[in-house]
Amino acid sequence: KRKHLVAPSVLSADFAHLHDDIVMVNQSEADWFHIDVMDGVFVPNISFGFPVLASIAHYAKKPLDVHLMIVEPQKYIKQFKEAGADNITVHYEACTHLHRTVHAIRELGCTAGVAINPSTPVSHLYEIIDDVDLVLIMSVNPGFGGQKFIEATYRKIRELRAMAADRNADLLIEVDGGVSNHNALALLKAGADVLVAGNAVFSAKNPIHTIAEMKRISPD
């Protein structure tokens, strides 16, 4: 059985002391940095862009998992790669030509992910799962950290796990939004591979310890 990954979401970091938070993640048992890019159009919030990503990449010692909550992501994937992205995830809802976009991401040498909003059914991924390395299931409406986890996510994870098994698709299932050490076990049991956690990590008294706990949770 493969071990799950933990990806702290930098959106919840202290941007005035970003270096401290990067060092914390480097020293922790976390697997990836999760980087949320928001454009104020696809989602009702604006986070940060290339210069901040490049600065994070300079100090990060783990892969950068870049989650693009922007319209027309295909226009910017090369710049995200150049700024240091290892995985680039685009939203299903933001891509008219999703197949072309995920292949363009892979041609740049990145792994490719596709994200779905809470209202988008897993069945819409049927024609793309052979072409992606990762599917990100949003467990809150994207735009903000610290929101309440949507319970219907468990069913969506199980449905995607079954679809992937059926099709022999080798993909990671990532869950993002309201994830904490309270629901991590249930998410892993449902079939999640990657747990993204913003608030749960960065608001913790001891983030390193919280990450270690999340890594230690076992579904078996």
State how far the Cα of 192 lies from the Cα of 177, in Å rounded to an integer: 13
Find the catalytic residue in 21, 31, 36, 193. Answer: 36
Q: How far is the CB of 69 from ligand DX5 (least distance, A)?
A: 6
Residue nearest ligand DX5, Cβ-based:
198
Our finding on whether 9 is near ligand DX5 (CB under 6 A) is: yes
Bridge-based pairing state of the strands 87-91 and 172-176? unpaired
- Is residue 131 part of the annotated active site? The answer reads no
> Which of ligand DX5, Zn ion, none has residue 143 at its interface (CB below 5 to 8 Å by kind)?
ligand DX5
Please state whether 66 falls in left (phi above 0), alpha (psi between -120 and 50) or beta.
beta
- Structural tokens at position 206: 């001891």
Work out which of 67, 91, 156, 215 binds Zn ion, going by CB under 5 A: 67
Which CA distances in Å does 159 have to 73, 126, 148, 154, 156?
Answer: 27, 11, 22, 9, 5
Work out which of 73, 142, 191, 207 binds ligand DX5, going by CB under 6 A: 142
According to DSSP, residue 9 is labeled B
> Which of Zn ion, ligand DX5, none has residue 191 at its interface (CB below 5 to 8 Å by kind)?
none
Our finding on whether 193 is near Zn ion (CB under 5 A) is: no
Give strand pairing partners of 172. 134
> Which of Zn ion, ligand DX5, none has residue 84 at its interface (CB below 5 to 8 Å by kind)?
none
146 is in an annotated binding site: yes
State which of positions 64-83 bind ligand DX5 (CB under 6 A): 67
State which of positions 7-46 bind Zn ion (CB under 5 A): 36
All residues at 6 or more sequence positions from 118 whose CB lies less than 8 Å from its CB, including other chains: 138, 139, 140, 141, 150, 152, 153
Our finding on whether 135 is near ligand DX5 (CB under 6 A) is: no
State how far the Cα of 28 lies from the Cα of 201, in Å rounded to an integer: 11
Contacts with Zn ion by CB under 5 A lie at 36, 67, 176
Catalytic positions are 36, 176
